[in-house]
Amino acid sequence: MPQLVFLHGPGAGACAETWTYQLQHFAGSVAPTLPGHPDGVQCDDVKGYMEWVRAWLHGQNMTRDLVLCGYTLGAAIGLQYALDYPDEVRGLVLSTISMTATTPAPGSLELRLQAAAGDQQAYDTWLANMEASIARVEPELRARLMASHRRIGPKSQHHDLALLRRFDVSARIGELRTPLLLIRGVTDVIHQRDGEAVIHAAVPGSRYVRLESAGHFPALENPAAYNRLVEEFVAGL
C-alpha cells in the first residue's frame, strides 16, 4: 500500500507544518521536519538530507512503496531519493523544482546573511518577504508558519538555498523510472523558471499540471485541488 511522505522546503515555515492540510487529509501520512529546522544540524547537500530522510523513514518501518511529495528542497530530496533508491519509491509528486542548480534572486542570499548577523532592517525585510510569500494562506495557519520562520531564522534558510544552487541531477534524469506528477502553481512569481516543465519533457510518461489559484506553494494555496491530484495519482499507481 502506498505510504505518503511530505517533504518541506526552506520556505512557508520551513518545517512539517507546511503540510498541515495534507496531514489532515491523508490518514497515515508523515512529514518529517528536517534537521536544523531548528533542532539538530543541517546537512551539507541534498544527498545528505535525503539520507537523513531515508534513515528517519526506515526508523518508522517505512522502507517501500513510498510516495514522496515535496516542494523546493523537499522536491529535490524526493528526486534524489528516487534516483538513488528506486526500489523503495513508488511515486513522486514534485512542485517548485529544478533538476539543475538554481540561482536565487540577486541579493536574496546576502539579505538572509545580514538578517542572521543582527541587521534589524534586513531581518524585518526578510520577515516581510516571508509573509508576502504566503499571503494566500488562511490567516491562522499563516500565523503559525510565520512563528516557525521566526524560530528557525534566516541563517537556516540561507543554508538551504545555497545548497540548492549546487543541486544538479540533469545527467541522471534519464535513469528515472518512478511514476512522476509535477505540479506548478500558475502564479508562481518567486520561482519563475518553469523547472517542472523541463523535467516533464525529460521524463517520458510523467504528468505535468499547472494548478490554478496557486503560486509558489501549491499545497498550501490550493490544498483541495492539490490533494485531489495526489489522490488521483496514488490511485493510478
> Considering the domain boundaries, does residue 20 fall inside one?
yes
DSSP annotation of 214 reads: -
- Phi/psi at 225 (5° precision): -70, -40
For a pLDDT cut of 90, what percent of the chain falls above it?
79
Residue 37 CA, distance from chain mean position = 14
Query: How far out from the chain centre does Cα 198 lie?
Result: 17
Q: Tens digits of per-residue pLDDT, 11-49?
A: 888 899 999 999 999 999 999 999 999 999 999 999 999
Indicate whether 204 belongs to any domain: yes
- Looking at the whole model, is its pTM more than 0.85? yes
For the chain, what is the domain count? 1
Instruction: Name the residue range of residue 92's domain.
Output: 3-101+168-235
The one-letter amino acid at 74: G
Give the separation between CA 123 and CA 153, rounded to whole angstroms.
9
Answer whether the bond into residue 32 is a cis peptide, omega within 30°: no
* CA atoms of 14 and 237, how far apart (whole Å): 29
Q: Would residue 119 count as lying in a domain?
A: no
CA 113 – CA 123 distance, rounded (Å): 9
Closest CA to 158 of 195, 122, 184: 122
- 3-state SS of 125-180 is HHHHHHHHHCCCCCHHHHHHHHHHHHHHCHHHHHHHHHHHCCCCCCCCHHHCCCCE
Residue 111: inside a domain: no
Mean pLDDT over 71-95 rounds to: 97
Instruction: Name the pLDDT band for 90 (thresholds 50, 70, 90).
Output: very high
Q: Is residue 127 part of a domain?
A: no
Asked, for residue 65, whether it belongs to a domain, the answer is yes
pLDDT at 189: 66
Q: pLDDT above 70 covers what percent of the chain?
A: 94
- Give domain status of residue 40, yes or no: yes
Residue 108 belongs to some domain of the structure: no
Contact status, residue 38 vs residue 116, Cβ threshold 8 Å: no
For 231, how many CA atoms within 13 A lie in the half-sphere containing its CB? 10
Give the CATH number, domain containing residue 56.
Answer: 3.40.50.1820
Provide the pLDDT for residue 184. Answer: 87
Q: What is the pLDDT of residues 184-216, one digit of tens each?
A: 887 766 666 678 889 999 999 999 999 888 768
Mean pLDDT, the chain, rounded, equals 92
Residue 149 in grid coordinates: 520562520
